[in-house]
A and B are shown apart, each in its own frame.
Chain A
Amino acid sequence: MSTNDFDLDQFKATYFEECAELLIDAETRLADLQHNPESVDAEDLNAIFRVVHSVKGGAGAFSFDQLVGFAHIYEALLDRMRQGEIQITEEIVTLLLTANDILTNLIQAAQNGTTLPEESFTEVKNKLNLLAFDQPVSTPAEEGEHETITPDETREKKYIISFNPKPELLQHANEPLLLVREMKELGELETKVNTDRLPPIQKIISDEAYFSWVFELISDCSLSDVEEVFEFVTEDCDLDIKIEEEATEAEAEAKQEEKTKSQQISAEPAEPAEDSSEKSLEATKQQAVEAMQAPTIPTPAPVKPNPAGNTQASQRVSSIRVELDRVDRLVNMVGELVITQAMLRQQVDNLPSELAAFMAKGFEDLGMHTREIQESVMAVRMQPVKSVFARIPRLVRELATKLGKKVELETSGEHTEVDKTVIEQLSDPLTHMIRNSLDHGIEETPEDRIKAGKPELATVTLSAEHRSGRIHIIVTDDGRGINRERVKAKAIEKGIIGPDENLSDEAIDDLIFSPGFSTAEEVTDVSGRGVGMDVVRRNISNLGGRISVQSTSGKGTKFIMSLPLTLAVLDGMVVAVGKEKFIISLTAIIESLRPAKTELHKLSNGAEVVSLRGEYIRLVKLHRLFNIPGAQNDPSQALVVVVEIEGGKQVGILVDELLGQQQVVIKSLEENYDPVEGISAATILGNGMVALILDVDGLDAMARQTSHKQNQDDEKGETRNQPNLITTSLDTKKLGSEEKLTPAQPENTSTIPADTASEAITQKYEVME
């Protein structure tokens, strides 16, 4: 059985994936520890211990020696802590946090196939060592080699452990050698191997366990410690642990002298005892070594080498790891199901009435079930924001140190769930917001805070909550608030606003999101990397979200980020322009109206505006931008959908009518074609037709480019006017050929009674549903 045949890379990938998850868990629990060090939950310590232990175990299998070495010391300290041997102080918690950071770095390094320079963490390592083993190590520790047994005040006991593995032990990817090593860490160990079961060489099956062992362990540790060594293998072996006697200190000392000898034995537990027949000794040795080494590589055995932590294993956590691809396929097919169902539903009305009534009932149920399936499938993709939040404590720690500020991070709502697509996009803007809060929000020095009558320790709060079908992520600091004078001065200096513009406080606060704005006096490497909050706003609005800021001078600043729960589904308004249908994201829509003629104005540069409660809103004529024939050109006959675009500005999109609100599944247009200006994605409507989702920011940009051209066109006279709106919506196909023949009509000759129009909208609405 050769171990090299396996493609290790795939196991490594799994290992690192698991490490990432484990570290998030550890990080979260450490944050808890940090907040209430007094009321330590033993379960937390245990959990962190298990994380480090699992990381170490995997690292050992892949020979990441540096990682193993560090994890070992870290683990040892954690172990002593959970035994209650070390009091949890603030200092210790800080050390643990640092250790965790280093562990993360080491894992990253291992993942990149590199190592970290030893000196970068020697100090922490020594500190850990001092606490874990009561003595520092000067040389980089190697696995299992550095422990010195220090006979301390706790009394030592002698454990007699008989360990008799069942044949499956090795098949389940367990490794007796590791157990022996682990026991060695507990105390002095004497090992006896029983090779009675070893069959003749010809009959050896390499992944069966033939040896059994009797260990004599002298240690001050508790019975549970010893049991824990075997925790992963209890089901695969017969284990008997007896406490023989309590070793006196003198005995312990005597043992200490023998230590060298016993270690020699224990170092090679795999070696069969001398009584093996001389003839087959060499071969047997070889076999034994192989037998023991092979399973350390996680083979595709039915049981995984349980990295998830041992209690979880026993609790039978009912979750599975599924490739995102599979879920996506499912989501896709459910989307299709919904469309097909909608299509069939439309046909029901054409059936004879008695049949239709019967079918309608069935379709009602079917509709309910499909909706439920869709929701369940979407729920599969939902994940708690915890995975993003967990990275933040470290960021805050590092930044606070770098900036010389004292900052405490409070998080809440980390269990709030949001679609995986959003999670992936959340990390960057959030990091930036936190950086901004620490760098600009919080006072320069702790002294400044004391002067301002605030506690020395600044608080940054990160919270998440569901609100009306969206997720709100809020970053609050109790710093100095936005300095409006300075923001305004800066904005004038940068030409963002005019020198004598009178802005409300909110408007000034909003200026920090303007492109090219940064109030930091000089570029710092923390948040002034040439990317400002404008990038954050743009990224968030690309996700269909919004960000706003509230600030009280001297009290602090609050950033509120509002995001859709998923990027796979969008609540949209279906609008008609000519015979085309488009979707506008509901989150962008502020209102829609049919302006009166008196409210329409034309600027000298050709741009058309509509005045709305004293504000002028630029019109974006969709049919012009997209060259759609047969659309209503006169805004007083059509509808203006007011949308918010980048930077909080508003523009009015001219459409023929609103067809109704609908949740649509977002489909990529770029998968098989190229990006189209003004279009963000596509979706499939109830009739199976593709509809395009408008990119309102892109439309605005297009409108600006073409506004001049538009002006010229207008002077040539209106040629494209849609004479009959109602016909369009009811029989698009017929009209499609008709309207080409329709002679140009002068503007505004066709007027539609308002009630007829609204009736049409209602009709369409039913169809859409």
Chain B
Amino acid sequence: MESNSLATQENMDLTLQGETNSPAHNQDHNPDHNTGKTGMAMAKDTGQQQFITFTVGDQEYGVDIMSVREIKGWVETTLLPNTPEYMRGVLNLRGVIVPIFDLRCRFGLGKTEATNLHVIVIIAVKNRMVGILVDTVSDILTVSNSDIRDVPKMETLIEEEYLSGLVTIEERMVALLNQERLFDTQIIENGIGLSQVDE
């Protein structure tokens, strides 16, 4: 449970790949494939998981590395009419139309004024691909399952519902996203559900 420098190196490579639109990333849309891999990786690493972390403002968030398909710089999107504010439109990812969500806005912290320095992390959620707009991508974390803490009861209901856990790295706290709930439009439409997050 520590952030190592090697991981940061990997992270940079990944970002580069994302920006150069390496086709290798594109081939692997299959979410089943992904879950299969995750399961295997978890079993092999005796309960360890890897997360890509990124920042939004001062807060650091993490998503399961196996769900990340690509990381790319912010590009102008096409707005979809009459969609929530955090829905930042769609972009063309090599022929596939991918919706982009503003994570800051999703957490009710206002719309991100996106610049070329902002980053879109393309992740697979169930059988869909979505992009999340974040400030920067920071790290790759390897975390033992036992170090993942439950999300304490918080005043903002959103955070509690859409986080799957918390990890402390040195001084920093990383909030692990439950992307399935975060971008499940069914849940968004029906309001926040009460069922407990599993995983």
Contacts and interface: CB of A to CB of B under 8 A. Distances in A.
Contact of B95 (A335, A628, A677, A678): A335
Contacts of A336: 94-95
Nearest to B93: A672
A667 B81 contact: no
B78 A691 contact: yes
B23 to A, nearest CB: 10
A627 B82 contact: yes
Nearest to B124: A672
Nearest to B90: A690
Nearest to B94: A336
Interface string A614-638: 0000000000011110000000000
Nearest to A674: B185
Contact of A690 (B82, B92, B94): B92
Interface in B162-191: 185
B98 interface: yes
Given A672-B130, A688-B92, A682 B97 contact: yes
A672 B94 CA distance: 14
**Residue from A625, A671, A673, A677 with most neighbouring chain B CB atoms (10 Å):** A673
Contacts of A673: 80, 90, 97, 99, 128, 130, 185
A316 interface: no
B191 to A, nearest CB: 16
A671 B82 CA distance: 19
A667 B97 contact: yes
A692 interface: yes
Contact of A676 (B76, B80, B91): B80
A333 B80 contact: no
Given A669-B90, A672-B130, A674-B185, A679 B80 contact: yes
Nearest to A667: B97
Interface string B49-85: 0000000000000000000000000001111111100
Interface in B18-66: none
B81 A627 contact: yes
The B interface is mostly helix, strand or loop, or mixed, namely: strand
Interface residues of B, number: 22
B96 interface: yes
A171 to B, nearest CB: 35
A336 B23 CA distance: 13
A119 to B, nearest CB: 47
B138 to A, nearest CB: 26
B129 interface: yes
Contacts of B89: 690
B91 A628 contact: no
Given A671-B97, A682-B90, A690-B90, A628 B78 contact: no
Interface string A676-689: 11110010100011
B92 A678 contact: no
Contacts of A667: 95-97
A580 B97 contact: no
A332 interface: yes
Interface in A722-753: 733
A336 B82 CA distance: 28
Contact of B81 (A332, A679, A684): A679
A668 B76 CA distance: 20
A671 B97 CA distance: 8
Nearest to B129: A672
B96 A676 contact: no
Given A682-B90, A689-B76, A690-B91, A671 B81 contact: no
A671 B130 CA distance: 10
**Residue from B89, B94, B95, B128 with most neighbouring chain A CB atoms (10 Å):** B95
Contacts of B78: 580, 682, 689-692
A628 B80 contact: no
A627 B83 CA distance: 10
Contacts of A580: 78-79
B77 A690 contact: yes
Contacts of B129: 672
Interface string A365-396: 00000000000000000000000000000000
A671 B185 CA distance: 13
Contacts of A689: 76, 78, 92
B95 to A, nearest CB: 5
A138 B71 CA distance: 73
Nearest to A669: B97
A733 B96 CA distance: 23
Interface of A: 332-333, 335-336, 580, 625-628, 667-669, 671-674, 676-679, 682, 684, 688-692, 733
Given A676-B83, A692-B81, 4 more contacts: A332-B95, A672-B130, A673-B80, A673-B99
The 5 A-B pairs of least Cβ separation, nearest first, read A626-B81, A690-B78, A673-B99, A672-B128, A336-B95
14 contacts: A625-B81, A627-B81, A669-B80, A672-B99, A672-B129, A673-B90, A678-B81, A682-B78, A689-B92, A690-B92, A690-B97, A692-B78, A692-B81, A733-B76
Interface of B: 76-83, 89-92, 94-99, 128-130, 185
